[in-house]
Amino acid sequence: MDYKKTLMNYLKARYAILVVESFEEERVIGEVGLIAKEINHTMYVWNSTEGVMLNGNVIGEKTFDLKQAIDFCESKAKEKDSKCLFVFCDAHNYLDTKSNPVYRRRLKDFAMNIRNKGYKCNCILISPSFEINNDLQKEITIVDFPLPDRDEVKKIISNNIAGYKGIPGVTIDVNQQVLEKFVDASIGLTRLEIENCLAKSIVSTHKLDETDIKDILEEKKQIIRKTGILEFIDSKLNLNDVGGLETLKRWLDLRSHCFDVEATQFGVKPPKGVLLTGVPGCGKSLTAKCVATAWNMPLLRLDMGKIFQGVVGSSESNMRLALKTAEAISPSILWIDEIEKGMAGASGGGGDGGTSTRVFGTLLTWMQEKTSPVFVFATANNINGLPPELLRKGRFDEIFFVDFPSKEERKKIVQIHVSKLKRNLNNFDFDKLADLSGEETFGKDVVLAGAELESWVADSLIEAFSRKIEGDASADLSMRDFEATIKRMVPMGQMRKDEFTKLRQWANENAVSASLTSKASNSQAEEFLGGRRIDF
């Protein structure tokens, strides 16, 4: 792996202090130990409960304190022909801004002595996260330590399966195809998390087969919950629950297999993402939930409100943590709902000291350069609230405009919601309902949005129920209820007509219509799919 070569080059070049950010302390120590043997160095490991150890045995008396440990390590570094690696596991607890500055000073002195006195040694600090104080900023080099790659994950799972075979009362039913599914599900987990999932399955069911993959997916949910920034959306919806938006659904369908190994071998790169903008309440967020089910990927909702915090630097750190988590459990879908609200102030003029700009810059850079299979699904109601650099090619694969539903789409949406109520669809004239929810009732260019259609169905059901409790024992949802409730509705398209007209004008030049029947960019959408009408 590249990190091994990078780490070895740093060690050979005598970089005094290296920081490895990882939760896998045991795995890092194991990998560093292999490198130490390869370059013929003695590896000492320190933690705050045992002190300095060599090969697992405590050799430094009274070295529980970091300063004492560094004193001991420097005494070893001074020995003739000494070649050492000093690994510190808990040093970050002593080196933050709230700790005694003596510890930072002592570590800095040791680093200077390594350079100036020619010690043949290096210090490696292992930490889940490391806050670099100004005292040490120029002395420290951060080394990335990735999670186990596919080959490592496969080896971990295979070794565990081999260990369980032959145990009385335990059944192992894992062929090569199932093994690959276990590997796919485990990408993004640490070795300990993978081993814990397998052990949990064995203990709970006394077997290991394809059904136990769900335990691994549950572990990924735990990772997301621990961040407190991302929300795992457990959606049961599919694209059949979206009325209309044929162009968008076809586009998504064509990319559903682009994350497979076969696609990679063919030379296809994973899609970067998509931005949906347009009229509120017309299915943008709903589509995000449906895509996750259709693609069988975890859906992670990024709450921009949780990103921004009062402590200086914490907002930028939260964004990096969120993106790192999304990568850790990839392939995944990162849903950024109403992205323009989170990016308010990113174009300058904000009073947050530049925090929005820095957070936005972190997101932009990641979107441009990411290689991990994380599909960004962003939605925006107000495109004018987004900085122009977000909209250029390279950030998203495509920008779609979602308009008010056409008559056929309104008919489909009402059918979907009525069917969810388990009513007989033959009892309703859906063509008439589509007309009632459009220009026939509200006037030219004014129709109900998808969310308003859902509300209309719900209000009509209440209307029917009110008749029932008033004495009509046979009352049920009928056309008369729809006709009664539609008269009380004031459409959003009527209240914000000028605003939506300007939005369509922008979409005609800058976006692809999500619906083949939309007035905005209709010809562009037809051309986009080669003139084909798609039936779902």
In a domain, 242, yes or no: yes
What is the pTM for the complete model shown? 0.69
- Say yes or no: 63 and 132 in one domain: yes
Q: How confident is the model at residue 517 (pLDDT cuts 50, 70, 90)?
A: low
Pairing label, strands 17-21, 140-144: parallel
Exposed, middle or buried: residue 336 (CB in 10 Å: 0-12, 13-18, 19+)? buried
Least confident of 115-129, 507-521, 522-536: 522-536
CA dihedral for 315, 318, 324, 330, sign (positive or negative): negative
Least confident of 182-196, 346-360, 428-442, 515-529: 515-529
State residue 179's pLDDT score: 87
- Say yes or no: 324 and 180 in one domain: no
Q: 351 near 308, Cβ under 8 Å?
A: no
Residue with tokens 């069917």: 419
Both tokens assigned to 443: 């006037």
Among 144, 191, 125, 190, smallest CA distance to 7 is for 144
Q: What is the CATH number of the domain that holds 292?
A: 3.40.50.300
- Say yes or no: 240 and 383 in one domain: yes
- Say yes or no: 258 and 390 in one domain: yes
Length in residues, the chain = 536
Statement: residue 188 has pLDDT above 80: no
Q: How confident is the model at residue 532 (pLDDT cuts 50, 70, 90)?
A: very low
Tell me: cis bond preceding 387? Omega within 30 of 0 counts. no
- Say yes or no: 193 and 310 in one domain: no
> Which of the listed residues 144, 169, 192 is the one where a domain comes to its end?
144
Q: 299 near 235, Cβ under 8 Å?
A: yes
Q: How confident is the model at residue 314 (pLDDT cuts 50, 70, 90)?
A: low
- Say yes or no: 173 and 154 in one domain: yes
Q: 463 near 481, Cβ under 8 Å?
A: yes
In a domain, 267, yes or no: yes
**Total tally of structural domains belonging to the chain:** 4
Statement: residue 477 has pLDDT above 70: yes
Task: Residue 292: give the domain boundaries.
Answer: 233-402
- Say yes or no: 353 and 290 in one domain: yes
Mean local confidence (pLDDT), 234-246: 83
Coil, helix or strand for 196?
helix
In a domain, 299, yes or no: yes
- Say yes or no: 308 and 393 in one domain: yes
CA dihedral for 248, 251, 256, 260, sign (positive or negative): negative
Residue 431's CB: how many other CB atoms inside 10 A? 11
In a domain, 520, yes or no: no
CA dihedral for 29, 31, 37, 39, sign (positive or negative): negative
Mean local confidence (pLDDT), 246-252: 90
Percentage of residues of the chain with pLDDT beyond 70: 92
Cα–chain-centroid distance for residue 56? Answer: 38
Which letter does DSSP use for residue 393 in this model? B
In a domain, 16, yes or no: yes
State residue 534's pLDDT score: 34
Among 428, 405, 413, smallest CA distance to 493 is for 405
> Which of the listed residues 144, 164, 184 is the one where a domain comes to its end?
144
Beta bridge partners of 52: 46
State residue 130's pLDDT score: 73
Q: What is the CATH number of the domain that holds 481?
A: 1.10.8.60
- Say yes or no: 265 and 201 in one domain: no
- Say yes or no: 360 and 381 in one domain: yes
State residue 40's pLDDT score: 93
One-letter amino acid of 69? A
Q: How confident is the model at residue 535 (pLDDT cuts 50, 70, 90)?
A: very low
User: Which residue would you say has higher pLDDT here, 6 or 385?
Assistant: 6
Cα–chain-centroid distance for residue 19? Answer: 25
- Say yes or no: 155 and 138 in one domain: no
Q: pLDDT tens across 342-396, in order?
A: 666 555 545 555 677 788 888 888 888 888 889 999 988 877 777 777 887 778 8
> Which of the listed residues 184, 211, 227 is the one where a domain comes to its end?
227
In a domain, 519, yes or no: no
301 contact partners, CB below 8 Å, separation of at least 6: 230, 231, 232, 233, 335, 337
d(CA 32, CA 289): 42
Per the prediction, the chain carries an average pLDDT of 84
Statement: residue 533 has pLDDT above 90: no
In a domain, 188, yes or no: yes
User: Which residue would you say has higher pLDDT here, 1 or 478?
Assistant: 478
- Say yes or no: 26 and 133 in one domain: yes
Statement: residue 290 has pLDDT above 60: yes
Least confident of 72-86, 151-165, 335-349, 401-415: 335-349
In a domain, 528, yes or no: no
